[in-house]
Structure 1
Amino acid sequence: MEKISLFWFRRDLRLEDNTGLYYAYMHEKNVLPLFIFDIDILDKLEDKNDARVGFIHSQILNLREEFKKFGSTILVKYGKPIDIFRQLLAEFDIQNVYTNRDYEPYAKVRDQSIKDLLKEKEIQFLDFKDQVIFEKEEIVNGSGEFYKVFTPYSRVWLEKFSKAAIQLLQLDPNKNNFYQSPPLPIPSLSDMGFKKSDIQIPFLDIDKPLIQKYDSLRNFPGIKGTSRLGIHLRFGTISVRKLALEASKLNATYLNELIWREFYMMILHNNPRVVNQAFKPQYDKIPWRNAEEDFEKWCEGRTGYPIVDAGMRELNATGFMHNRVRMIVASFLTKHLLIDWRWGEAYFAGKLLDFELSSNNGGWQWAAGTGTDAQPYFRVFNPESQTEKFDKDLLYIKKWVPEYGTSDYPKPMVDHKFARERAIETYKTALNT
């Protein structure tokens, strides 16, 4: 059998500054790149036109072209990772397996099962930090505990970042340690039961002039004021180190958003229970109304609150929602309608191109008041004053709610003053019992 080492791509679909790939390439011979379309993940996707699957597929095709330059290829499989690895162990004499760490609960269980399988064969499973600057327990307080509040976490993060000599890792063009092979076949989307989506994926571009003005533009959904790099961070088509280094020179507010991303990843790693439970356990006592008809109106953008409806329609049509509007629609669902944040979180998970479990969970729990460093439960966004502040000329609303101002547009499904008082009273009663 042929001796190889594997590099297993997951959410790091690039050659530039890819930590695990770099170390595999530097230390091994015959490195065979591998990607697995994981049935355990794909089978949970209800939408078979899911643009994220199409995006991953197109990136794999791009990687195959990149590896051609090295006289190599990428091995692409469709199935359960544990089954794929059993097949590969029968087919190759595997020396070592390299990959980059993932901090989501499913990924940690999956990786442990692969590690255990390889250990039986005395094969090392070598994993590396790649999708974050600082991970797990690297940022802790004086007592060695993880931070539960963002501001002190970000202060320590920035201090550590300023002292870190971050180098972007590049593959040495003078050596070639990749497995030599002509291109191998890649399963098509239809082979896996998916179709190509019409949703457009934002182009990968670090728009420096936009990032420089990010702090003054980012809250206005009617203009192009955000970088739209979320999906590229999610699937690792851009290096977070490269983006953070650029942001540190261009705009502190933009860099702060990258720190929030790592804060929520750290929270998820240390508290996997937040996937299904409130970070603050007492908030699991809230008696949510969970009216399905109300939830449906919210999902479809028919609440009678134009800024909320614009956000939901943008999400449904494009897989994107402006960050300011995400806060408004999440507050509306949890506070105005008293619908469980988990319902909204799951809806976003199915729609957002840049869906990231930790950030999505953190954002929803922040809006609902149930999470770490969350807005207090008695703070209830007023959709009208949010519109006045951030979409005064109705640029965003008119784009997504063209019937606004006509008899075709529905009346508000609930009165703001009534909903606000009901939410505060419901929370207060639940928390005091």
Structure 2
Amino acid sequence: MTLPRRLDRSYETGLVWFRRDLRNTDNAALYYALKHCERVWCAFVFDTTILQPLIEIRRDADGKARDRRVDFLLDTIDELGHALHDAGGGLIVQHGDPRDEIPNLADRLGVEAVFANHDYEPQAIERDDAVRERLHEQQREWLTFKDQVIFERDEILTGQNKPYTVFTPYKTAWLKAVSAFDLKPHPVEKYHAHLARPPKSHQHPLPTLEKLGFARSDLKELGLKTGMTGAQHLFDAFETRIESYAEQRDFPAMNATSHLSMHLRFGTVSIRTLARMAHEMSLQPHGQGAATWLSELIWRDFYSMVLHYNPRLAEGAAFKPEYDGLRWETGAKADAAFTAWCEGRTGYPLVDAAMLQLNRTGFMHNRLRMVTASFLTKDLGIDWHLGERYFALQLNDFDFSNNNGGWQWAASTGCDAQPWFRIFNPVTQSEKFDAQGRFIKQFLPQLADVPPKYVHAPWLASAEQLAQWSVRLGDNYPEPMVDHAAAREKTLARYGQ
């Protein structure tokens, strides 16, 4: 797939296929289609190759599948369809395998070209290659554009024309390369007149959750905001507190983060909008908060680039091949330990509260992602792949390259990962980043009366004290699964081999 910055021809008709770019503003594919076509139809496909396996995995005890991401997607597609209709067009919604649905739809509409934005995950690339081949057989063009990232693939390379493997010099090069052009929005609104109403034969109501194979999740009860309007609301709120982001971002009890990661994942907000705001504010006095947040956005570009040059990561390989041979704990005891970690029953309050937050809300604070991943791999000695897959299932904002990069960072197997001998102490991390235990007590109410001195490690209190606080170790709160100091020595030996 190549990026045609300037198309050298015009088309009578075109089709825009929305995927991870669910907005009708500052959308590269939509912009180029409207600019270069006289009439443009828009489509979205509920991909059964993704949804069908998810139904089996997410099925509850009552036999119903629930996933907040599907609810989010359905609400967002509804909003996108109305926005396109108000602009003079509409959204054709299909349900099936896009390898068939998109070429068939292009054929029925008789379009000359299909426009889409780049998707970088290996499975998505294979899907797009299959769609492109079908379209070429029909003598239709397949045109794709950069939209998810500011710099992609080979746009930021070393002086030796090689990909970076360390983040800091990559970030330096990124900041030197970025320009107003890279952050400029695509003026979609300028060409709204080229939007076409879907033919009556394609004007179908949105499928229901039940039609997709799902039951309603707790998305609305959690107050998770969907669509472009939800993204704008969160963006506006974060802009007022971004100045304090650098000082407050590591404290999970504080409302310091943007909460925009799910919207970035589904493209309800443009990465250019976010990066432009952060870059401009970072250059102002008191701009450290914006500069720090901009670094988080640059990490997304970095991990996307890493995946491009190392597609084997999607097959489970460690970035550093020498760590593919690590001997992780296995057997019934390890299985039980993994289950306890998943369920928030490790006996380490910060780890348990973080896992309960993930399970109950689909969100986990970034500092806690590092703490819980380090605990699984370096306190319990359990294969990082298991944690990676669990997060992929639970996270509302799941993105393969970011999730894989984060887990390999914590496990010290990845690109620019923490050294293998650096092992987070879950108690000191708790004392440092949740000193009063506010976050812990939010998700572990049985520890509500434990004072800050002991809330990070309740087993250090006396039996009389625990009784006074109504804490019964091994009953209403577990004993610690492992001794951190002993686990640390075992991990040093494991990696040292």
Provide the TM-score with structure 1 as the length reference: 0.96
Give the structure with the larger helix fraction.
2
CA distance in 2, matches of 1:30, 1:115: 21
What residue ranges of structure 1 are gaps of 5+ in the alignment? none
CA distance in 2, matches of 1:192, 1:180: 25
What is the Cα deviation at residue 288 of structure 1? 0.5
What is the Cα deviation at residue 92 of structure 1? 2.3
The answer as to 2:400 corresponding to 1:369 is no
> In 1, are the aligned partners of 2:420 and 2:495 still within 8 Å (CA)?
yes
Task: Read off the aligned partner of 2:254 and give its amino acid letter.
Answer: I
The answer as to 2:425 corresponding to 1:385 is no
CA distance in 1, matches of 2:189, 2:363: 37
Structure 2 counterpart SS, 1:127: strand
> In 2, are the aligned partners of 1:4 and 1:179 still within 8 Å (CA)?
no
The answer as to 2:298 corresponding to 1:278 is no
Residue by residue over 1:211-242, the C-alpha shift from the partner in whole angstroms, topping out at 9 and shown as x without a partner, is 12110110000111101000000000000000
The answer as to 2:50 corresponding to 1:41 is yes
CA distance in 2, matches of 1:90, 1:156: 44
Task: Read off the aligned partner of 1:189 and give its amino acid letter.
Answer: L
* Number of the residue aligned with 1:11: 20
Distance 1:64 1:163, change over 3 A: closer
Q: 1:70 aligns with which of 87, 96, 99?
A: 87
The answer as to 2:401 corresponding to 1:401 is no
Provide the TM-score with structure 2 as the length reference: 0.84
> In 1, are the aligned partners of 2:106 and 2:114 still within 8 Å (CA)?
no
Task: Read off the aligned partner of 1:259 and give its amino acid letter.
Answer: I
* Number of the residue aligned with 2:259: 228
* Number of the residue aligned with 1:98: 115
Task: Read off the aligned partner of 1:411 and give its amino acid letter.
Answer: E
* Larger RCO, structures 1/2 (Cα 8 Å, 6+ apart): 1
* Number of the residue aligned with 1:79: 96
> In 2, are the aligned partners of 1:320 and 1:353 still within 8 Å (CA)?
yes
How do 1:209-288 residues align onto structure 2 when only pairs under 5 Å count? 209-250=240-281, 251-275=290-314, 276-288=316-328
Residue by residue over 1:11-49, the C-alpha shift from the partner in whole angstroms, topping out at 9 and shown as x without a partner, is 000011001101101111221101011111112212221
Distance 1:266 1:318, change over 3 A: same
Q: 1:143 aligns with which of 156, 160, 168?
A: 160
What is the Cα deviation at residue 321 of structure 1? 0.5
Residue by residue over 1:306-340, the C-alpha shift from the partner in whole angstroms, topping out at 9 and shown as x without a partner, is 00000000000000001101100000000001111
Q: What is the root-mean-square deviation of aligned Cα atoms in Å?
A: 1.4
Task: Read off the aligned partner of 1:16 and give its amino acid letter.
Answer: T
CA distance in 2, matches of 1:94, 1:231: 32
* Number of the residue aligned with 2:29: 20
Q: 2:187 aligns with which of 170, 183, 190?
A: 170
Distance 1:269 1:370, change over 3 A: same
Q: 2:212 aligns with which of 192, 198, 223?
A: 192
Task: Read off the aligned partner of 1:386 and give its amino acid letter.
Answer: Q
Identity score, percent: 47
CA distance in 1, matches of 2:39, 2:50: 29
What is the Cα deviation at residue 122 of structure 1? 1.5
Distance 1:272 1:240, change over 3 A: same
What is the Cα deviation at residue 210 of structure 1? 1.8
Residue by residue over 1:357-388, the C-alpha shift from the partner in whole angstroms, topping out at 9 and shown as x without a partner, is 00000000000000010011111100010011
> In 2, are the aligned partners of 1:330 and 1:368 still within 8 Å (CA)?
yes
Select the structure of larger CA radius of gyration.
Answer: 2
CA distance in 2, matches of 1:19, 1:9: 11
Task: Read off the aligned partner of 2:482 and give its amino acid letter.
Answer: V
Aligned length: 427
Q: 2:239 aligns with which of 196, 208, 213?
A: 208
Distance 1:147 1:248, change over 3 A: same
Task: Read off the aligned partner of 2:216 and give its amino acid letter.
Answer: K
The answer as to 2:142 corresponding to 1:112 is no
CA distance in 2, matches of 1:338, 1:141: 35
Residue by residue over 1:136-195, the C-alpha shift from the partner in whole angstroms, topping out at 9 and shown as x without a partner, is 110000111100110110000011114645321122357511112465322111111012
* Number of the residue aligned with 2:375: 332
Distance 1:146 1:305, change over 3 A: same
Q: 1:124 aligns with which of 134, 138, 141?
A: 141
> In 2, are the aligned partners of 1:73 and 1:184 still within 8 Å (CA)?
no
CA distance in 1, matches of 2:38, 2:138: 19
